Amino acid sequence: MADRKENSSRNNKNQSRNHNFRKRPPQKPEIGENVLFISTKTNIKAQLERCKKLINNNESEIIIYCLGAAIQRGILLALQLCEHHVAYKIYTNTLSTELIDDLEPAVDDADYDIQKRFNSALRIRIFRSDPLETPEKKAN
């Protein structure tokens, strides 16, 4: 088992010397004015203001996508938004997103290659609910 780990790490080191590693941007599953993509570099205050503008323009729902380490920032944004606007509720979905990396040759005898990997993602749907609607009305 230890032999296999040594061979694996040796192959990865050889591959990194022979290739330049380039991450492709993740695919965007939805596009629209009410769809936000949060990263670790996103300014949360600016996105909060953007969401408030959407709410003031009577947008019925806002979709927030966050990936990997940015999930915490996306949740924070959604909670802050719902704290200020009590008529809005949150619905979340977890998913895995396939990410593709390009391995560009750094030496003449290496070939172009791609590497696929998966990362956790979160889709947060913030939608307007009727505050006067009771559970009994929903059942009917």
Domain boundaries, the chain: 31-129
Residue 78 has pLDDT above 90, yes or no: yes
**Which CATH architecture does the domain made up of 31-129 adopt?**
2-Layer Sandwich (3.30)
Cβ atoms of residues 123 and 93 within 8 Å: yes
As a whole-number percent, the residues of the chain with pLDDT over 90 amount to 51
Question: Using an 8 Å Cβ cutoff, are 39 and 74 in contact?
Answer: no
Choose from 68-72, 99-103, 106-110 the range with maximum mean pLDDT: 68-72
